[in-house]
Structure 1
Amino acid sequence: MKGKIIVCGSQKGGVGKTVTTFNLAYALTSLGKKVLAVDFDSQGNLSTCMGIEDLRNEEKTIGHLMMAEIEDEPIEAVDDFIQNNAGIDFISANVYLSAVDTKLRLEMGAEKMLSNILEPLRNRYDYILIDTAPTLGSLTINALAAADSVIIPVNPQLLAMMGLQDFIKTVSKIRHRINPRFEIAGILLTMCDSRTNLCKVLVEEVNDTFKGQIKVFETCIPTTVKVGEAVYYNMAVEQYSPKSTAGIAYRNFAKELIGYEG
């Protein structure tokens, strides 16, 4: 059975995309799934979470694989680009990906480059998770074109609706023009402070707006300092503090996602 390729995507920053990708990868791994996490953001935040200390000197990144694909150069063994942290396989990224972004705009069939790299890896993993930049540029379109589905993290404290409709329109265009199998896995509410009325109101607003159209995951990821502490130590929150509310939430989210994916 082929593995699922899932993007964690949003055109808004500050919604917990990278932290979600990292913690979901760990939770799925701890549930016995084989996971590959791909950092597809030139800032390399996911790579930092995975413990890469000197991003600038990384020479085997997703950017290098992409450039080889663009230039039609034979790719060395892809295994040389795959690293491991806490049982999670991952491919790192750094600022070199920005050069790829620029070059992609001039290429024929540009939107399929990442798909060409990841398709041969499907048979080795249950899940391939892609972390993207908070933009709708050529790199993000590449990620969406390669994926089966997208998880959209939404921070209820950042005016949840802003940018969400635009992102959903882009998803629709990707499905109609490039990738007919592509769908929205669901909206994940992150950084929820259930004690505040604002959070409750916005959660209700998201549910009311998309009910019947787009799945809103039942699991909400709570706000807790443990998440930031865990990232500092290059650990998933469940690994760092197994009893923390966020760690439990990410594990529940992984179970919910597996149920959704069937």
Structure 2
Amino acid sequence: MKKNKKIFCNFPFYISIPSVWLCRKEFFMENKCKVIAIANQKGGVGKTVTSVCLGACLAQDNKKVLIVDFDPQGSLTKGLGYRSPDSYQQSIKDLLFNEINEVDVDYHHSIIHTDEKFDLLPSNISLSGADIQLSSVMSRETVFKRVLDKIKDDYDYILIDSNPALNLFTINGLVAADSIIIPVQAEPYATDGLNDLLHTITTAKKQINPNLKIDGILITMTDARTNLSKHIANEVRENYGKFIRVFKTEIPRAIKTSEAALSGQSPIQYAPNAESSLAYRRLAKEVEQIGKNITKTRHEFSR
């Protein structure tokens, strides 16, 4: 029989396991679904557009995608043409409170199957104030995670469009997520609040979700015509790129984004050849490559 090997972990001790286990598939079991929170407490940085465009691009790459509108404003939901709560059966708020009250329902009935190949879990103004109700619930930080755990096996990617605040919804999103993408616009005061968000992420990682990672900072709303936009983008890369990935792809400002919302389509479907749509396709490739690199590392470690 082979001798045991010492496997060092992220703990102040090591465990010994039989060498034969190292090749077992079950030991390095991977989650099929990756949950990504698109988060920044600063509003107007492109969280919603990034959520829907990245989701649409991943779906076009034949990935099974669910986009969750976790913002009480419901901008993502309305931008895809579902402007009235009467146009869908349930919203994310209903699922949260079904989970809290242990109501046995089929969550799949709450999911909208769009004609753009991705699914949508909608939101509306009824979510506003629900965080106050959540605050008195046992294990309140994990309610959203428990909801997603019941449906995540159906998807390759779940993208969470977080609300622009550091509240209980944001914490629930960070606890449910495997990783985070942080959109930062290429405009003055772009990084305002970013350090607070990073502190919140660190706290969530230490206390509740130790596997949480930052996939990267995404520079949005760039304008190649101005030196200011280029300067801010370079500043973000210099100040944060040393310890956080900054995506190579930068998303240009585009009027087509607003037009798409009025049409009830994603910008990717509305203007597939626009510079911003092409940029989001490149971003999707970067995001997919992150997953491939993680898988490759796990496989190398398991040899």
Q: TM-score range by the shorter chain?
A: over 0.9
Tell me by how many angstroms 1:107 deviates: 1.4
Once the 2 structures are TM-superposed, how far is the Cα of residue 59 of structure 1 from its aligned partner? 4.5
Which aligned runs of 4 or more in structure 1 are off by greater than 4 angstroms? 56-59
- Look up the match of 1:245: 275
Compute the displacement of 1:99 (Å): 4.0
Per-residue deviation at 1:230? 1.4
Local SS of the residue matching 1:108: coil
Q: Is the 2:36–2:180 Cα contact (8 Å) retained in structure 1? A: yes
**Alignment pair present for 1:111 and 2:141:** yes
- Report how far residue 122 of structure 1 moved: 2.0
Of 55, 67, 72, the match for 1:37: 67
How far off its partner does 1:127 sit?
0.1
1:157-196 correspondence to structure 2 within 5 Å: 157-196=187-226
CA distance in 2, matches of 1:257, 1:223: 21
1:208 and 2:233 correspond: no
After TM superposition, the score normalised by the length of structure 2 is 0.83
Aligned partner letter, 1:250: Y
- Number of corresponding residues: 261
Q: Compare 192-201 and 5-14 and name the one that shifted more.
A: 192-201
Q: Is the 8 A contact 2:88 2:110 kept in 1?
A: no
SS at 1:180 equivalent: coil
1:255 aligns with 2:285: yes
For the residues of structure 2 that align with 1:175 and 1:105, how far apart are their CA atoms?
20
AA at the equivalent of 1:114: F
CA distance in 2, matches of 1:171, 1:158: 24
The answer to whether 1:150 aligns with 2:150 is no
Could you give the per-residue CA deviations for residues 152-190 of structure 1, whole angstroms, max 9, x where no partner exists?
A: 000111412211111111110010011000011100011
Secondary structure of 1:103's counterpart equals helix
The equivalent of 2:111 in structure 1 is: 82
Does structure 2 retain, via aligned residues, the 8 Å contact 1:227–1:237? Answer: yes
Q: 2:254 aligns with which of 217, 220, 224?
A: 224
Kindly state the Cα deviation for residue 98 of structure 1 after the two structures are TM-superposed. Answer: 2.0
Indicate yes or no: 2:97 matched with 1:67.
yes
Aligned residue for 2:150, secondary structure, equals helix
CA-to-aligned-CA distance 1:93-112 (integer Å, 9 cap, x gap) = 11221242111111121000
Paired letter, 1:82: I
Alpha-carbon separation, structure 2, partners of 1:191 and 1:137 = 26
Give the CA RMSD over aligned residues.
1.3
Task: Give the letter for the 2:76 counterpart.
Answer: L
* Residues 111 and 252 of structure 1: CA distance in aligned 2, closer, same or farther (over 3 Å): same
Distance, in Å, in 2 between the alignment partners of 1:195 and 1:28 is 29
Which whole-Å CA distance do the structure 1 matches of 2:284 and 2:190 have between them? 22
